[in-house]
Amino acid sequence: MSERDFSIDVLDAKNKFRDYKLFQIFNQFLVGFTTLFRIIARSSTTANRNMKDISLFSENLRVEANNIHSITREFTSQIEKSSGETHKVSYEIKKIKTQLGQLIYRNNRILDAATMIQKKISDGVENMSNGVYANSELLEQNKELKQSIQELWKKFASISQVTKDLIKISEQTRTLALNAEIEAAHAGEFGKGFSVVAQEMGNYSVKSSEIAHAIVQKIKAVQDDAKLTEINVLSSVEFASEANEQIGKAHSYYMDIKDSIENVTKDSNEFFKSMENLEDSFLQVNQIVARTDKVMETLVLHTKEVLQAISSQLKNIDSINTIVISTFQVSRVLNSLISQFDIPNFKNTSERQKAAEGIIERILNMRGIIINSLYSKDPLFLNILEEEKTKAEQEFSDFIRTKEKELQIQEEKIELNNFFTSWKEYTKINEEILFLLKQKKAQDSKIVYDTKSKVKLKEIINNTIEWLSDE
């Protein structure tokens, strides 16, 4: 008995049963199932590889987190020490400010004393000026008095000479009277009257001589007094000149002292202004230190919060590691199960099949992004998902352009453009969903997803499988 040939020509059988509706449905199911199974197989392999990378990254993250935790703890310790030092600096600045206030107070007292001394010196300078003026006047008067005494001395000398001449005349008159009296005695009776007259003349001449001698004595006494007065006036002039010179020197000293006091006052005023500026600077420094102290305290609190966050992050990393290990095990089991199936054309795939699988894979990735966005309550994570969506859109566009060049049949290129048009419509729907999420209209976004996004997704996948099953 000859052996029968039970081999089936798949292409011939496919052409025979192509017109049957049930076969078409079953064929699409097989194509879709095979495609999805291939995608799952690739995803499982990729997930397995990614789990290894994530496990490695997670371990590195743990090490870095531990390092950060250690550094943050040390930083917190240093900040606490710095905060203590800042307290000390603030205390020292307050002490310096107090001492500075005392210094300003003492400088004010010095300034007041210098002002008082300056006033007294000004009064002394004024009195000295008045004394110099009065002494100059006295000196001038003494000089005039000396000149008057010298003139009076000359007049007294003239009077003395006249008086001496008068004494001589009196003596001559007395001599004549004696001679007349002698002659009258010789004349006898006739000369008696003349004798009386001669006697009287002699008496008058004696008295005149006595008076003249008395005048001479008085003039000599007056001359002696005038001489003594002249000597006193000369001494007074010399004393006044010397006193005037000493007063001039004292006036000069007073002026020097006055200038020195003015310089001291000026320096004290500048010192006072400098101290005020320094006090203001210390006040500003103290305020800065106070603010720094507050910042330090806040920083200590924040670093403690960071420590707590890092500790929590370490726990999360441990949880991630546990999940990664579990997922890695599931991935290995899945790969083991998939390897039991002999998937047709798993290695030798056509360009259409690659394009279809790429479309389905990328559109499912977009669906995952939208699902995560719908159930995310973190605005930051929502922004990250939006960035992922933008990248996925660009990647899909680049994929379509690349496949367009690789496909040889024009009809396939047209079909690919149709998929691209559907993709654009799908992305617009997703943009509407993200916009509603940003407006915090979660319920409205879910409605748009259920009524538009899911429908469009199903349409694209069905068209892709149908396009693939026609190959």
Res. 20: pLDDT tops 60: no
Any idea what the Cα angle at residue 17 is, between residues 15 and 21, rounded to 5°?
A: 125
- Domain-terminating residue out of 233, 256, 286: 286
- Domain-terminating residue out of 243, 267, 286: 286
93 domain-assigned: no
Question: 347: burial class by Cβ within 10 Å (0-12, 13-18, 19+)?
Answer: exposed
Any idea what the Cα angle at residue 169 is, between residues 163 and 175, rounded to 5°?
A: 140
470 domain-assigned: yes
* 156 and 256 in a common domain: yes
Res. 411: pLDDT tops 60: yes
User: pLDDT grade, residue 360 (50/70/90)?
Assistant: confident
Residue 128, pLDDT score: 64
Question: 322: burial class by Cβ within 10 Å (0-12, 13-18, 19+)?
Answer: exposed
Measured from the Cβ of residue 79, the count of other Cβ atoms closer than 10 Å reads 21
Residue-averaged pLDDT of the chain: 69
pLDDT per residue as tens digits for the range 45-75: 565 566 666 666 666 666 776 777 677 777 6
| pTM: predicted TM-score of the whole model, two decimal places | 0.38
> What's the mean pLDDT in 403-418?
73
Between residues 376 and 9, the one the model is more confident about: 376
* 461 and 370 in a common domain: yes
* 281 and 182 in a common domain: yes
| Closest by Cα among 217, 207, 219 to 170 | 207
* 383 and 278 in a common domain: no
Residue 447, pLDDT score: 92
* 138 and 249 in a common domain: yes
* 354 and 251 in a common domain: no
- Domain-terminating residue out of 286, 309, 326: 286
> What's the mean pLDDT in 420-424?
84
User: What is the identity of the amino acid at 322?
Assistant: T
The answer to whether the beta carbons of residues 222 and 163 sit under 8 Å apart is: no
| Closest by Cα among 4, 33, 30, 32 to 17 | 30
Percent of the chain with pLDDT over 70: 34
256 domain-assigned: yes
* 389 and 281 in a common domain: no
User: What is the identity of the amino acid at 315?
Assistant: K
Most confidently predicted of 219-228, 391-400, 410-419: 391-400
Of the listed ranges 62-66, 82-86, 337-341, 452-456, the one predicted with least confidence:
337-341
pLDDT per residue as tens digits for the range 236-295: 666 666 666 666 666 676 676 767 666 666 666 666 666 666 667 667 766 776 777 676
User: pLDDT grade, residue 346 (50/70/90)?
Assistant: very low
Percent of the chain with pLDDT over 90: 1
> What's the mean pLDDT in 105-121?
70
Phi and psi at residue 130, to the nearest 5°: -65, -40
Which residues form the domain of 235?
A: 130-286
* 134 and 274 in a common domain: yes
CATH of the domain at 466: 1.20.120.230
236 domain-assigned: yes
User: pLDDT grade, residue 126 (50/70/90)?
Assistant: low
SS3 annotation, the chain: CCCCCCCCCHHHHHHHHCCCHHHHHHHHHHHHHHHHHHHHHHHHHHHHHHHHHHHHHHHHHHHHHHHHHHHHHHHHHHHHHHHHHHHHHHHHHHHHHHHHHHHHHHHHHHHHHHHHHHHHHHHHHHHHHHHHHHHHHHHHHHHHHHHHHHHHHHHHHHHHHHHHHHHHHHHHHHHHHHHHHHHHHHHHHHHHHHHHHHHHHHHHHHHHHHHHHHHHHHHHHHHHHHHHHHHHHHHHHHHHHHHHHHHHHHHHHHHHHHHHHHHHHHHHHHHHHHHHHHHHHHHHHHHHHHHHHHHHHHHHHHHHHHHHHHHHHHHHHHHHHHHHHHHHHHHHHHHHHHCCCCCCCCCCCCHHHHHHHHHHHHHHHHHHHHHHHHCCCCHHHHHHHHHHHHHHHHHHHHHHHHHHHHCCCHHHHHHHHHHHHHHHHHHHHHHHHHHHHHCCCHHHHHHHHHHHHHHHHHHHHHHHHHHHHCC
Measured distance CA(461)–CA(360) in Å, rounded: 6
191 domain-assigned: yes
> What's the mean pLDDT in 372-379?
80
Domain count, the chain: 2
| Closest by Cα among 334, 125, 153, 324 to 231 | 153
* 356 and 247 in a common domain: no
| Closest by Cα among 99, 123, 112 to 269 | 112
Res. 213: pLDDT tops 60: yes
* 137 and 270 in a common domain: yes
70 domain-assigned: no
| Closest by Cα among 247, 270, 262 to 121 | 262
259 domain-assigned: yes
Measured from the Cβ of residue 434, the count of other Cβ atoms closer than 10 Å reads 19
pLDDT per residue as tens digits for the range 161-194: 766 666 777 677 767 767 766 766 666 666 666 6
CATH of the domain at 207: 1.10.287.950
The answer to whether the beta carbons of residues 281 and 50 sit under 8 Å apart is: no
Residue 402, pLDDT score: 82
* 282 and 148 in a common domain: yes
322 domain-assigned: no
* 424 and 353 in a common domain: yes
